[in-house]
Amino acid sequence: MNIQRCPYDATPIEAMGYSGGSFLLTCSACGAEWEAHNTLVRRVTPPDWDAVRASREGAVTSTTPPPPS
Ligand SMILES: [Zn+2]
């Protein structure tokens, strides 16, 4: 498995070199972080859901109705 885009907001993820042959993947939009070890990807920091929502609303400018209140 190889993450190239954030599964939450589809932002391209930056991979940084990490010790021991691992990589630290960071989403600049929502702040989520993953550790990648060969084929194993483990999330280490959960996303900022407010940022995810804002990113999605910014990307999708169509007629998405607001949730009923
Ligand atoms: Zn993200």
Q: How far is the CA of 42 from the centre of ligand 1 (A)?
A: 15
User: Which tens digit of pLDDT belongs to each residue from 44-60?
Assistant: 999 999 999 998 888 65
Q: What is the pTM of this model?
A: 0.71
Rounded Cα distance between 20 and 23, Å, is 9
Rounded Cα distance between 17 and 69, Å, is 45
Which pLDDT value is given to residue 31?
96
Q: How far is the CA of 58 from the centre of ligand 1 (A)?
A: 13
Q: How far is the CA of 54 from the centre of ligand 1 (A)?
A: 11
User: Which tens digit of pLDDT belongs to each residue from 4-62?
Assistant: 899 999 999 988 876 788 889 999 999 999 999 888 889 999 999 999 999 888 865 55
Q: How far is the CA of 69 from the centre of ligand 1 (A)?
A: 26
